[in-house]
Structure 1
Amino acid sequence: MIQFQNECITVFQSALSQTTCTVVEAKDFVLLVDPNWLPHEIEEIKRHVAQIKGEKELYLLFTHGDFDHIMGYKAFPGAKVIGSKGLQEHPNKEQKVELIQQFYNENYIQAPYPIVFPEVDIVIKEDGQQLVIGHTTITFYLSPGHTHDGLFTVIEPLGIWIAGDYLSDFELPFIYDSAKAYEETLRKAERIIARHQISVLVPGHGQATASQEEIKRRIHLAQDYLERLIKAVKNEDLEEMAALEKEMAFPSNFTKNCHEENIRIIQREYK
């Protein structure tokens, strides 16, 4: 399903977890980000890419290595893969592949293409690293915290910011890597919006937005949640921790587990 579209960007949204896949059509190339989830959804994305690609080079960007973001990798053979050094050297590649296979098995889905972890052609090693293609400059920023291997990507002059699993309109921070790194990544987000002319922000889950005020609201939403949770953990305030869990959208066993993991990581880093 297409949730956002203009003359240079199409954002698809899966029926599962409101996960996005972004297709950017530039003058000299096509950039595809995190194709996912269900086979028919990926086929819709493939048809769209085929319609606009022509003779242009296809680049395939993975914002991070979570299994739901990499499962469409082999649906686009021949694409040049972009990812962070953390993705290239991911320590749990086999586990991520197993999670994809488990998802297909649990839902009686025949895997439509090989299930393998992405091999990275263009490795992003540092903040500010750029890839210049024709008239387009793509600037990358490392964004650890949610996972260790995350990337922010800014595409200019189009003004597109691909945020990965940050800055959702509804999803509060899920910390699988580091709370301190997550806080720094949010400060980096503030610097990005001050440094670049952003016209569209696309999160990994939820709605894209063209509003500067909405982007700032989302940064503050995540910062406020983390600040209050860190304070509650430091003070061993069980009542406040329980209240913060209730702020999670779509409460489930999954969000409960994510909240508990947030607390464990904060306890490890701050106490």
Structure 2
Amino acid sequence: MIVYQNSRITVFQSALYHTTSSVVTLDECTIVVDPTWLPHEVREIREYVDQVGRGWPVYLLFTHSDWDHILGYGAFPEAKVIASEKLHHHPNPDEIVEQIRFFDDKFYLTRDYDLKYPVADIMITENGQQVQLGQTLLTFYLAPGHTDDGIITVIEPEGIMLAGDYVSDLEFPYIYSSSTDYEATMQMLYHVLEKHEMKVLVPGHGNITTDAIEMKSRVDQSVSYIQTLRNYMTEENQEAIDAMMEGVPFPRNMKNYHTSNQAQIRKELGR
């Protein structure tokens, strides 16, 4: 599963949706980010943490509340959880867990841990909030748009950005919450990239990048998609909207999300 590794971070990638899970080994603790998907994949991440953790405290960092990102929670019962305040106070946590159960039932999957919704020990409530773990400083940025409870995390001095379901090289924006919030999060990311020297960017789905130019380009592409789609919808130019899907990877699935984005923006436009 390991697709990237340096002295501080190991990035695992699931066979499903190119979903990433990261393990960050610091001087005095281990941070596990969105451990997920198939039972044997979660087990591999768990075993790796046991191997490299040296008995240090374990922190689980959840980038947002989508069920595919929180389903490994129960595999780390000893961990302290870092998440946004909105994730902690999700209005329908039982519905999130039911989505996991539905997936497991559909594919006859069994897990060796309990399925439950995360309870945050450290809640992120504001942009720029910082948490000191040993000698390492984590800076958090609220990132609504995909969902309304997302966070983007910067780990310094390692220069690691954990982006959640943003700036993927495989996916255009999936807008579950708000296109205007999503665009604002991208504008914020421009400032984050200017403020911090990023060496590794890890998206929730897709491939990591260590190239600063590509990092900015991914933000550019996300902004362009949202603005272009909104403009075409204002013009009611469905032909142009459909043409936006030309050349995208996995088009049969991506089309569904493009259609969902149209419904979201149509609602925002009051149509």
TM-score (normalised: structure 2) = 0.97
- Summarize deviations over 1:56-93 as a string: whole Å, max 9, x none: 11100000010100010000011000100110111121
1:110-149 deviation per Cα after TM superposition (whole angstroms, max 9, x unaligned): 2321111111111100001110122110000000000011
- Would you identify which runs of 4 or more consecutive aligned residues in structure 1 move more than 2 Å? 245-249, 254-257
Paired letter, 1:217: S
1:92-112: CA deviation from partner (whole Å, max 9, x where unpaired): 211111110011111111232
Q: Does 1:257 align with 2:256?
A: yes
Q: CA deviation at 1:150?
A: 0.4
CA-CA distance at 1:247 after TM superposition: 4.8
* Correspondence 1:101 to 2:101: yes
Structure 1 counterpart SS, 2:128: coil
> SS where residue 171 of structure 1 aligns?
coil
1:121 corresponds in structure 2 to 121
Q: How does 1:200-211 map to 2 (within 5 A)?
A: 200-211=200-211
**Structure 2 match to 1:147:** 147
Q: Matches of 1:127 and 1:88 in 2, distance apart?
A: 17
Map Cα deviations across residues 127-176 of structure 1 (whole Å, 9 max, x no partner): 01110122110000000000011000000011100000001111100000
Q: Are positions 1:40 and 2:40 aligned together?
A: yes
Hey, what does 2:170 align to over in structure 1?
170
SS at match of 1:239: helix
d(CA) in 1 for partners of 2:259, 2:171: 15
Q: Percent identity?
A: 46
User: Does the alignment pair 1:51 with 2:51?
Assistant: yes
Structure 2: gaps of 5 or more residues: none
Say whether the 8 Å CA contact 2:165–2:203 is kept in structure 1: yes
Q: What corresponds to 1:159 in structure 2? A: 159
Structure 2 contact 19–204 (Cα < 8 Å) conserved: yes
> C-alpha distance in 2, partners of 1:127/1:75?
29
Equivalent AA in structure 2 for residue 47 of structure 1:
E
Q: CA deviation digits over 1:195-234, x for unaligned, max 9?
A: 0011100000011111001101111111111111010011
* Matched ranges for 1:184-199 at <5 A: 184-199=184-199
CA distance in 2, matches of 1:46, 1:73: 11
Q: Does structure 1 retain, via aligned residues, the 8 Å contact 2:39–2:110?
A: no
1:245 positional shift: 3.3
Q: CA deviation at 1:258?
A: 1.5
In structure 2, relative to structure 1, the CA distance for the partners of 1:182 and 1:138 (3 Å cut) is: same
User: In 2 relative to 1, CA 170–7 (structure 1 residues): closer, same or farther, beyond 3 Å?
Assistant: same
Give the aligned partner of residue 133 of structure 2.
Answer: 133
Whole-angstrom distance in 2 between the partners of 1:221 and 1:229: 12
Give the match for residue 79 of structure 2.
79
SS in 1 for 2:10: strand
* Residue identity matched to 1:130: Q
Number of equivalenced pairs: 270
- In structure 1, C-alpha distance between the alignment counterparts of 2:250 and 2:74, rounded to whole Å: 31
SS of the residue corresponding to residue 15 of structure 2 reads coil
Give me the whole-angstrom Cα distance separating, in 2, the residues matched to 1:24 and 1:111.
24
TM-score normalised by structure 1 residue count: 0.97
CA RMSD of aligned residues (A): 1.1
Residue aligning to 1:269: 268
Give the distance between the partners of 2:148 and 2:260, measured in 1 at CA: 15
